Structure 1
Amino acid sequence: MNDTQYPTDRTALLCIDPYNDFLAEGGKMWPALSEVATSVGLHANLARIRATAREAGMPIFILPHHRHHAADFEGWAHLTPSQVAAYEYQLFADGSWGGDWYDGFVPDTGDIVIKEHWGASSFANTDLDVQLRQHGITHVIFVGLIANTCIETSARQAAELGYHVTLVRDATAAMSIDAMHAAHEVNGPTYAHAILTTAEVVANLGVEKAA
């Protein structure tokens, strides 16, 4: 078993973009994500790791992407390809079903909802770093979507800022097997302190009763 240690008073679960557009059948991005998501058991693993974090008394941070409006990006000089696509699709459109939290991932009492990020990083132009530091967090476990974009970018920046970073292989998904491979086998090992499965994280947290 991996022996990564998670101090309960200094570890947080960071869940990126748990929106219907990503996770629900009928969501705008679900057709592109469904093959990989289904192959890793994404929904069950997200639910299991979230429940385990609650049982362990770990804080849960929700890191949401900007909910789009029709006038977004007017006058912007340098849109990324991802921003262009998100705008054209009106991904997570404000006030839409797709921009609502996925069932089971509605923020609960005590959860900390971070300011919405406009690009791939949950740190850029948000309050994530100050919220983590004010809560005494040193270890962060990333789950959610998408493995090679928002997860990777946010996790890289967390490492740069001095946090202990864990990626969870089967509590995320991407739009292709190659993208998942790149996130966990090529890029992840250059910055993440641990790259684990949901079962390994749960075992290391040591709170889930044996079945």
Structure 2
Amino acid sequence: MALIVFQTDNLNLLKQGITNNNTIKFQEVDIMRARPKIDKDILNIRNVIDDAKCYEVVRGLRWPITVICPICNSEKVVKNGHDVKQRDRQKYHCGTCNAYFDDLTGTVFENHHQPLSVWVLCLYLMGLNLSNLQIANELGVNKSDIQQMTKFLREGVSTRKPEVILSGEIECDEVYIVAGHKGRADEVKKRS
């Protein structure tokens, strides 16, 4: 199905045609009075990305070689079905510590009701420096939910940032020492 629009001799009228099964239906639309209706699903950013691809990317980033248990770091892990509500979310069972976990266990995305695709798109839109209100409008999610999501994402990024360790000699050329408040230099304690 495609939408075909072209202008007629009258500048205020457009001919709008919809193709369906090799047939074209045309109707004239007065652009001064009414705008052609656009299907909102076409413009919905959430339709661009699917949960299956998101889970695949999370698995690839989290476990590039093989799945590792987040509790005991063992490689003796077997697949244990899928989540009931989210079919693309793989469950696992560790043979060493007998723990059950899934793709999101131990991540920022764990224990939240929003789908993984919404989290990924939120992270992407944060990278574009959009405000929380703009992200909420783009994704069609409540702004308080987006506030919490961006908070968790920022905390997750900051806690996983490697610590900087300085080493070597440090030289200092100048030192600034406060000698009391302006105009009251006599209040500074004298060293004896």
Q: Normalising by structure 1, what TM-score?
A: 0.24
Higher relative contact order (CA 8 A, sep 6+): 1
Q: Normalising by structure 2, what TM-score?
A: 0.25
Structure with larger Rg: 2
